[in-house]
Amino acid sequence: MHRYNCIIVEDEPLAAEVLKDYVAQVPFLHLKGICTDALYAMDVLQKEKIDLVFLDIHLPKLKGFDFIKALKKPPHIIITSAYQEYALQGYELNVVDYLLKPIEFNRFVMAVNKLKDRDTADVPVIAPAAAMERAALFFNVGKKRVKVYIDEILFIESLKEYIRITAKDRAILTKLQLGQIEEMLAQNGFLRIHRSFLVARNKIDAFSATDVEVAGKLIPIGRSYKEQVMVILES
């Protein structure tokens, strides 16, 4: 079995301890150390063969994204952050995944399993410890962080600086760009059908050349999206 040597770059002891526990539960991960800042991590990368870095963004001395940009040949990077608004910037730097704190184990597993798609090594796919656990995201709503299960999301609408996430039995409003949430849900079967709408493909009840129907709501298909949407829906 190929094992990935990894380090955790995190200045919050509790967050680092959670990640350390998660790494210990994954057979193909081997923790080489915990770094409290990016400069320390750079020193480790020069001395050790590191395949994967779990990287916080807001670090002392050198910020996470600046750390990535400073590396000539960066290893695999998985961002671990409490700030969802930087997700798009993270994906532009070709990170493996962007995990929002507090991180649940099943979401952690989804992220590390993506490594098998990037490498040719024979890396086994593992399932979450509890089979009934479901992928979820936390969104800032007022002064709270609200948990939304991904498989309950019906569609997402852009409202300038905010998005409205309509789920099975509720809707929430959070400050985020539609492009950012589209990146975060790229592997979860969501389809951009309009500059203002992202829909869960498996929640579409009916569609025509001009709109799709989700839970009784007609959502328009944008002209510039029509051709691609039709190809996907008719396949």
Asked whether the predicted pLDDT for residue 11 surpasses 50, the reply is yes
- Of the pLDDT bands very low, low, confident and very high (cuts 50, 70, 90), residue 120 is very low
* Dist. CA 106–CA 172, nearest whole Å: 23
Residue 140 and residue 227 in one domain: yes
Number of folded domains that form the chain: 2
- Of the pLDDT bands very low, low, confident and very high (cuts 50, 70, 90), residue 52 is very high
Pick the last residue of a domain from 88, 118, 148: 118
% the chain with pLDDT above 70: 92
Q: What is the mean pLDDT of residues 93-112?
A: 89
Residue 82 and residue 46 in one domain: yes
- Please tell me which of 49-58, 94-103, 171-180 the model is most confident about, judged by mean pLDDT: 49-58
Residue 86 and residue 174 in one domain: no
Cis peptide before 102 (omega within 30 of 0): yes
Asked whether the predicted pLDDT for residue 50 surpasses 90, the reply is yes
- Of the pLDDT bands very low, low, confident and very high (cuts 50, 70, 90), residue 157 is very high
Identify whether 35 is part of a domain.
yes
**Range(s) of the domain holding residue 140:** 136-234
- Of the pLDDT bands very low, low, confident and very high (cuts 50, 70, 90), residue 131 is very low
Please tell me the number of Cα atoms within 13 Å of 61 on its side-chain side: 12
Per the model's pLDDT, the better-predicted residue between 66 and 2 turns out to be: 66
71-74 contacts, C-beta under 8 A, 24 or more apart: 71/42, 71/45
How far the first Cα of the chain sits from its last, in Å, is: 37
Asked whether the predicted pLDDT for residue 127 surpasses 60, the reply is no
* Dist. CA 197–CA 217, nearest whole Å: 12
Identify whether 107 is part of a domain.
yes
Identify whether 214 is part of a domain.
yes
Residue 79 and residue 164 in one domain: no
Q: How many CB atoms lie within 10 A of CB 8?
A: 26
**Which amino acid would we find at residue 136?**
A
Sequence-distant (6+) residues with CB within 8 A of 65 are 57, 86, 89, 90, 93
The pLDDT, as a whole number, for residue 180 is 83
Tokens 């290893």 appear where?
Answer: 75
Q: What is the pLDDT of residues 69-80, one digit of tens each?
A: 999 888 999 999
- Of the pLDDT bands very low, low, confident and very high (cuts 50, 70, 90), residue 10 is very high
Identify whether 130 is part of a domain.
no
* Dist. CA 49–CA 59, nearest whole Å: 22
Identify whether 60 is part of a domain.
yes
86-89 contacts, C-beta under 8 A, 24 or more apart: 86/57, 87/180, 87/181, 87/183, 87/184, 88/177, 88/179, 88/180, 88/183, 89/65
Pick the last residue of a domain from 58, 86, 118: 118
Residue 51 and residue 143 in one domain: no
Pick the last residue of a domain from 51, 84, 118: 118
Residue 113 and residue 201 in one domain: no
* Dist. CA 134–CA 13, nearest whole Å: 26
Asked whether the predicted pLDDT for residue 125 surpasses 60, the reply is no
Q: Give the tokens for residue 163.
A: 């998005």
Domain with residue 36: its CATH number is 3.40.50.2300
Tokens 């002064």 appear where?
Answer: 143
Asked whether the predicted pLDDT for residue 49 surpasses 90, the reply is yes
Asked whether the predicted pLDDT for residue 41 surpasses 90, the reply is yes
Identify whether 67 is part of a domain.
yes
Task: Give, as one character, the DSSP assignment of residue 221.
Answer: P
The pLDDT, as a whole number, for residue 122 is 38
